[in-house]
Amino acid sequence: MFPQSDWGAPAPILTGRAEALLARSRPIGAVDADARASARRLVATLKDFQMRKGFGRAIAAPQIGIRLRMIAVDLGAGPFVLFDPSISWKSDETQLVWDDCMSVPDQIVRVRRHVSISIDYTDINNRRRSWNKLPASLAELLQHELDHLDGVLMTSLAEGDAAIQPAERWSELVGAGRPEHRLSLKGIEAASRLIDPVFLNAPYYQSDPLSEELGAQVMVKVETLNPVRCFKGRGADYFLHTVDQMGSTEELVCASAGNFGQAWACRRSGRRLTVFAAETANAMKIGRMKALGANVCLSGRDFDAAKAAAKAMALDTGAWMVEDGKEPPISEGAGTMGREIIQADSQLDAIVVPLGNGALLGGVARWIKAACPGVELIGAVASGAPSMDLSF
């Protein structure tokens, strides 16, 4: 990660058939002070282009005249640099896509790319990392930048009739093929400002007993030191902010075993809330939901029955049925946890996240994979509730 104070000064972007664009770049080897200086300049150029043009996700070092195997990337969670990237795997399946390039600003070109690739690269701390099985839009991006490192311009890969088109058709041909992600990085960033501070910046520290037991440096993030004693307050609070911003006055209804209902029973919002819970739900949690202002209805012997009753009420009354993993702002609120982890420690190898319905893992993974893609995300399910593992 490169904070803004380390960006340096931007460089001009080479265009046309400049010599540096047509030559194969040299391997870097160890990331030394000179390589870091070049990386800062590359990042500064990418950020400058983004601020001037409003788009641009990556740039390769040859595009600013630096013949080193280096790519700066910013997917929306802050810039990072891939040193000596190489493809370690590529899918057999390919696709034709419309490509754009800062160095060929007047044209877009139809080229063939592998639908997915995996890459190995060295990070700023001289650690060799892997970024595995990229989704199609990122696989396309990295293949384009890797071509730059080999001195290959997209115009030389044009395939099919009318494969080169004017840049004026970008929105129609390129933009239309890049659908927005369901979870917004801007939403996660906004959530980090809007969520009640009582839910944010939970303690993050090394667990000596776990580190000793597992033979690795194990960090833990304690999400139980807040009024609802779990992480769910993050997503619930941010969702309420988004509902308020929409001007909605609908009653909310949800199903909960306790923790989610407590998070929703937010006296700050002044909004009417009905929580359906199973008749077998924890009595203390039922009491807390009521104390926090929720209207609690017990229905059925398990969570599924309570959820069915909640949906029936929403259908009958027009109330807003809120499901924990279904509303994007809930996952975006949970994603603030990933943002805090990376701000505290960007050299992690892996993050283990509890996995229930996926709202937490989805939000955390969305930020982590945009900020530090070499970090592995591992979802851990309870042995008695393995449905997500089985479905995956």
Residue pLDDT, tens place only, 292-310:
888 899 999 998 999 999 9
Q: Provide the whole-model pTM.
A: 0.90
Provide CATH code, domain 4-177: 3.90.45.10
3-state secondary structure of 377: strand
Asked if residue 8 has pLDDT above 80, the reply is: no
Task: State the DSSP string of 229-293.
Answer: SSTHHHHHHHHHHHHHHHT--PPEEEE-SSHHHHHH--TTT---EEEEE-TTS-HHHHHHHHHTT
- Mean of the per-residue pLDDT values for the chain? 92
What residues does each domain of the chain span? 4-177, 185-228+328-391, 251-318
Catalytic residue among 93, 140, 145, 251: 145
Position 54 scores a pLDDT of 85
Q: Please state which of the ranges 211-215, 257-261, 299-303 shows the lowest mean pLDDT.
A: 257-261
d(CA 254, CA 59): 45
Asked if residue 191 has pLDDT above 90, the reply is: yes
Tell me if residue 145 is catalytic. yes
d(CA 227, CA 207): 24
Pick the CATH number of 185-228+328-391 from 3.40.50.1100, 3.30.420.40, 3.30.70.1450, 3.30.1360.10: 3.40.50.1100
- Specify whether domain 251-318 bears CATH 3.40.50.300: no
Express each pLDDT in 120-178 by its tens digit. Answer: 999 999 999 999 999 999 999 999 999 999 999 999 999 999 999 999 999 888 887 77
- CATH topology identical between 185-228+328-391 and 251-318: yes
Cβ atoms 16, 101 nearer than 8 A: no
Model confidence at 271, pLDDT cuts 50, 70, 90, reads: confident
* DSSP symbol at 195: S
Kindly list the distances between the CA atom of residue 334 and the CA atoms of 28, 113, 180, 192, 238, in Å, as whole numbers in the listed order: 38, 34, 19, 10, 9
Model confidence at 76, pLDDT cuts 50, 70, 90, reads: very high
Which helix H or strand E contains 117, and what residues bound it?
Answer: strand 117-122
